[in-house]
Structure 1
């Protein structure tokens, strides 16, 4: 059983929802990134999602695009991020998921990328630009390496599409609350509650809701319908807005604690 499944099962037993925090690997630097990941885990993030910077991110809004550019300028690449995870894994047991463009995986070599990720201590892979029907070249390699495969579903997904995504998901399904790019709209339960319930009916894996989650109140409301909540742009924005690198981990931790507290209050 994977670290992700273990964590989700444990939270379900405790009647809690999972909180996943997205951070860009290498933003603002590799060493600062390590401190941020450790701070997030210690503050109550159940899963850490690490975005591997890519110069042409498809579904990422301006906050994450700027973050990717900062990381690339600071020298972040696949090899550097793998080393970052290896270093972080010595200190925490929190599940780590890579969000990575298929181009980067192919450039590294699909089988090699999956093996190297698992060896570094990664638990799952999200390929945001790989629709289920094009995932055949990635899934066997990921499974062979012991990685969970996480795919995206959205309010625009047809029932058939939802089923095909659900079949391929292990670890969790990533349900996109709002169509478009990350961080540009705010999610409300009224908008997505019914769709998340539909996704949960067809998915054996837990359903995590992401995109557009900013406030502790939103996270709390969504956690009542989804198995967990993913926060990306809001977390990355806190890092970017901190007055300096040394202040960023505590600012992020404070935000995560406030979200966790809201999600745990019934």
Structure 2
């Protein structure tokens, strides 16, 4: 595993020192276009997010709801490739060297690309690590070895259905933070944050000293403040994607993303 001094760990520790949750934002690479994704992610950072997840678009995103599926489809029809995702990471990290940039991806693209090669290329691009929602920890040793060699954090996902024993197995293998899915089901904005989230954070913390960050469903400052009251980080994705989808122009979309990021950044400071 990576050390506590990884870029991601430093950012999460800095937020904790300010007595607030970190704000982590997600957008898929290649959406609305390959260069447009770089601009959109920069708008997130300008709005005040602490860390960024860049999604690797997938043809069968089984854990993602219709909003992210739509964005992935746009990216795939635009010809996005894994090398373009890595180039997006490189451009973002070059412009923002202090902001941790993670790739969130299903396992199949990494396996096809080559685990060791992907870890090396992600590190070379300045990436801070990977979020791997569908990689069982029992099958992760080869990846974890490669990630450790290249200083990458590996974030695993836990869900309300995870039993306590299972939580311990997952958190023992991960680094950076633990991604706690606030609700059962796929990603997407919701009128209310799932009431299972706080209990999941409590149970997860009983197994690890890693920060626990909550995602799936947060779409406004009030929900961000609600989650920030009990979690170490608030993860927002679909709400940003929806802003870009709803915008009348790409420029309007970037402005809308920046505005929402600023609202959410204020929200995580209200706990």
TM-score by length of 1: 0.96
| Unaligned stretches of 5+ residues in structure 2 | none
Which residue in 2 is equivalent to 1:61? 65
Query: How much does 1:87 deviate?
Result: 1.5
Query: How much does 1:71 deviate?
Result: 0.6
Which residue in 1 is equivalent to 2:75? 71
Which residue in 1 is equivalent to 2:158? 153
The separation in 2 between residues aligned to 1:68 and 1:124, in whole angstroms, is 21
Q: Deviations over 1:41-92 (max 9, x none)?
A: 1111101001001101120111011100101111211101111211222210
The separation in 2 between residues aligned to 1:5 and 1:223, in whole angstroms, is 17
Which residue in 1 is equivalent to 2:270? 265
CA contact (8 A) 2:104 2:131 kept: yes
Task: Spell out the pairing of 1:157-196 with structure 2 (5 A cutoff).
Answer: 157-183=162-188, 185-188=190-193, 190-196=195-201
1:122 has 2:105 as partner: no
Which residue in 1 is equivalent to 2:32? 28
Which residue in 2 is equivalent to 1:232? 237
Which residue in 1 is equivalent to 2:54? 50
User: Which residue, 219, 229, 246 being the options, matches 1:241?
Assistant: 246
User: Which residue, 37, 44, 49 being the options, matches 2:41?
Assistant: 37
CA contact (8 A) 1:58 1:129 kept: no
CA contact (8 A) 1:178 1:187 kept: no
SS at match of 2:146: helix
Q: Deviations over 1:87-130 (max 9, x none)?
A: 22221021101011211111111100000001101101011111
SS at match of 2:25: strand
The separation in 2 between residues aligned to 1:151 and 1:128, in whole angstroms, is 6
The separation in 1 between residues aligned to 2:140 and 2:133, in whole angstroms, is 11
Query: How much does 1:192 deviate?
Result: 2.1
1:134 has 2:151 as partner: no
The separation in 2 between residues aligned to 1:189 and 1:79, in whole angstroms, is 36
Which residue in 1 is equivalent to 2:17? 13
CA contact (8 A) 2:102 2:129 kept: yes
Query: How much does 1:25 deviate?
Result: 0.5
The size of the alignment, in residue pairs, is 266
SS at match of 1:138: helix
The separation in 2 between residues aligned to 1:248 and 1:84, in whole angstroms, is 18
TM-score by length of 2: 0.95
Cα gap change, 1:83/1:188 in structure 2, threshold over 3 Å: closer, same or farther?
Answer: closer
